[in-house]
């Protein structure tokens, strides 16, 4: 079981992100001023925005709520 988990992690670690995902991460990092990670494939995925305090969470939520979609 441990070997299977290590193998999955290793395979995922070798997969390179598409350039558009890397560019989007960089843009969002600059906008939110925190770590952002984009994962996914075939039209599905996740955008993870990290925060390290309640104040930072409130700041990020304020930015998100002010966005016009």
For 4-44, the pLDDT digits (tens) are 445 444 445 667 888 899 999 999 999 999 999 999 888 89
pLDDT at residue 30 in the model: 96
- pTM as predicted: 0.71
Cβ-proximal residues to 3 (8 Å cutoff; 6+ apart), any chain: none
What pLDDT was estimated at residue 61?
Answer: 96
């Amino acid at each position: 079981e441990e070997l299977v988990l290590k193998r999955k992690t290793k395979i995922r670690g070798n997969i390179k992100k598409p350039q558009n995902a890397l560019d989007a991460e960089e843009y969002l990092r600059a906008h939110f001023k925190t770590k952002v990670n984009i994962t996914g494939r075939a039209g599905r995925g996740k955008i993870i925005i990290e925060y390290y305090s309640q104040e930072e969470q409130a700041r990020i939520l304020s930015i998100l709520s002010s966005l016009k979609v």
